[in-house]
Amino acid sequence: MRIALNARILQAPRTGIGHYVAELVGALACEPDIELSLFHGWGWSTSLPEAAMPGYSRLTPLLRQIPGAYQARRWLAQKRFDQGRSQAIDLYHEPSLWPLSFDGPTIITLHDLTHLHYPETQPPARLREIERRLAEGVQQARLILTDSQFIADEAQDYFALPAERLIVAPLGVAARFHPREAAEIDTVLKTHGVEAREYFLCVGTLEPRKNLALALRAHALLPEAQRQRFPLLIVGMAGWQREHFSEELRQSLAAGYVCLLGYLPDEHVAQLLAGARALIFPSIYEGFGLPVLEAMASGTPVILVRHSAMPEVAGAAGNYIEPDDPEGLRDAMSRLIDDKTHWQACREAGLQQAKLFSWERCAKITARAYRQALGG
C-alpha cells in the first residue's frame, strides 16, 4: 500500500499532533505492506524532518493578521500536493483537521472537537476555516480515526455518522518516557533550579483551554513553606490569548514560586516529567491528553480533570479534580506532598496504566484502517 501522509505540522515546533505524526510514522515502519510518502507542505519525502522549519513560530502569528492567509496557504499546499507526487498513491491520510483534495480513498484523524465546545480558544480566522473545512473533510473521509472513544462518540453524534466509519486508535508513549534515577536527570533539573520530586510540573501550550490559571491559583493557596520547597514549573509555548492569565503569571513569577520555562527540547521535558512530584494537568477539554500518559509512564503521579477523554487515559491512577476548584487542586497537591504511601500508590498505578498504551498498537489499528478503506 502506498500511503500519502500529510506531515506539514512537523514544520512547527512539536506539540500534541506533531508528536502523533512523528511517532505514528516510526511505528508504521514495522508494517511490511505499507510504504509512506510524507507531504511536508513544499514537497515530498520518505523521512521525517529533524526539526521545525526555521522561523515558523515567528511567521505564524504574522500570517494570522493577513486577510485570507489561511485560504492562500491552503491553496498553495494543494498545488504542491498535486504537482509533487512522483508515484501513484493508494490512500491519503490526513492527521489533522481538514484534508486536502484527493481523488482516491481518504482517512482523517479527528483528535478533538475543541472548536465546538470552546470556540473562544481559537483565533477567529482559524475558527472560520475549521468551520468551513472540517465538515467537508468528514464527508470526504472513508474512515475516521480518533484517539479516544469519547471523541468517537462526540463525532458520531455531531456529524450523524454511522459507527462503522469511526475507528478508535489510542495513542502511545514514546520510549524517552520512563522512570529515571535522580542522578540521570540531575543536570537538567539543576539548570532549572530544582531537585528531584521537589517541584510540580505543568505541560501545555499557554492558552485558555489548558486552564493553567487553575494551577497558579491552587499553588498560591499552598502554605508558603510548601510553595517555596515545591515550586510550579510550566513548560510550553505561548499560545493564543495568553493575556487571559498574564496578571496571575506576573504575580506568581514575582514571588519566585512559579517558573515559566517556555518550549523545551523533548528530552528535557521527559527528564522534567520523570523528576516531578506530580504532573498537574487541569485542561478543560482534551481528545486524549498525551502528557498524562507520558507522566504515568515516567513514574510520576498525575492530577487531572475528570472530563472529556482523560479518564480513558489515566483510569484509576488519576487524582481527579474539578476544573474550577483551586481548593480541591491544592488539597490534591498537599496530599502528594505529605502522604508518601499515597504518592507511591499513585506512582505504581500510573506505571501499570501506561502499559496499556503503545505506538505499536496505534500503528497496527491504523494499518488495519488503511486496509479496510482500500477494501482489504
CATH of the domain at 206: 3.40.50.2000
Distance CA 289, CA 42 (A): 30
Regarding whether 260 and 241 lie in a shared domain, the answer is yes
- Asked whether residue 340 is assigned to any structural domain, the reply reads yes
Query: Measured between alpha carbons, how far is 333 from 280 in angstroms, rounded to an integer?
Result: 9
Residue-level pLDDT at 65: 59
Is residue 25 located within the same domain as residue 44? yes
What pLDDT, on a 0 to 100 scale, did the predictor assign at position 270? 98
Residue-level pLDDT at 196: 98
Whether residues 291 and 316 share a domain: the answer is yes
Helix %, strand %, coil % of the chain (to 5): 50, 15, 35
Q: Mean pLDDT across the stretch 45-62?
A: 60
For residues 309 and 40, give the distance between their C-alpha atoms in angstroms, rounded to a whole number. Answer: 29
- 204 touches 216 (CB < 8 A): no
Q: For the residues 117-126, what does the mean pLDDT come to?
A: 77
Task: Return the pLDDT at 43.
Answer: 84
Q: Are residues 164 and 206 in the same domain?
A: no
pLDDT at 350 over 80: yes
Higher-pLDDT residue of 319, 12: 319
Torsion sign (Cα): 246, 252, 254, 260: negative
Are 188 and 162 in a shared domain?
no
Residue 149 domain-assigned (yes or no): yes
Identify the three-state secondary structure at position 204: coil
**Can you give the pLDDT at residue 194?**
96
Work out how many domains the chain is built from and give that number.
2
Q: Does residue 103 contact residue 139 with C-beta atoms inside 8 Å?
A: no
pLDDT category at 53 given cuts 50, 70, 90 is very low
Top-confidence range, 111-125, 213-227, 235-249, 352-366: 352-366
Q: How much is the average pLDDT of 53-79? A: 64
pLDDT mean over 106-129: 85
pLDDT of res. 125? 77
Question: 110 and 238: one domain?
Answer: no
Residues 154 and 257 in one domain: no
- Residue 148 belongs to domain spanning: 2-172+358-373
Burial per residue of 305-317, b for 16 or more beta-carbon CB atoms within 10 angstroms, e otherwise? bebbbbbbbbeeb
The mean pLDDT of 3-22, rounded to a whole number, is 88
Q: Are residues 239 and 133 in the same domain?
A: no
Lowest mean pLDDT of 101-110, 118-127, 161-170, 340-349, name the range. 118-127
Q: Which residues contact 132 (CB under 8 A, 6 or more apart)?
A: none
C-alpha distances in angstroms, 279 versus 37, 175, 305?
36, 18, 12
Q: Per-residue pLDDT averaged across 3-31, rounded?
A: 90
Residue pointed to by grid coordinates 504575580: 251
CB 203 within 8 A of CB 269: yes
Please give the pLDDT value at position 63.
53
Q: Assess whether pLDDT exceeds 70 at residue 248.
A: no
For the chain, what percent of residues have pLDDT higher than 70?
Answer: 90
pLDDT band at 371; cut points 50, 70, 90: very high
70 has pLDDT over 80: no
pLDDT of residue 54: 42
Is position 145 within any domain? Answer: yes
**Ramachandran quadrant class, 308 (left: phi over 0; alpha: psi -120 to 50; beta: rest):** left
For 175-191, what is the mean pLDDT? 97
Both 265 and 301 in a single domain?
A: yes
Query: How many CA atoms are closer than 13 Å to the CA of 42, on its beta-carbon side?
Result: 4
The Cα–Cα gap between 300 and 196 comes to 11
Is 363 found in the same domain as 261? no
pLDDT band at 145 (very low <50, low <70, confident <90, very high): very high
* CA–CA separation, 26 and 38 (whole Å): 12
Domain-embedded: residue 177: no
Q: Is residue 160 part of a domain?
A: yes
Instruction: Check whether residue 362 and residue 348 sit in a common domain.
Output: no
Confidence of residue 98 (pLDDT cuts 50, 70, 90): confident
Considering the domain architecture, whether residues 145 and 15 belong to the same structural domain is answered as yes
Mean pLDDT of 75-92: 83
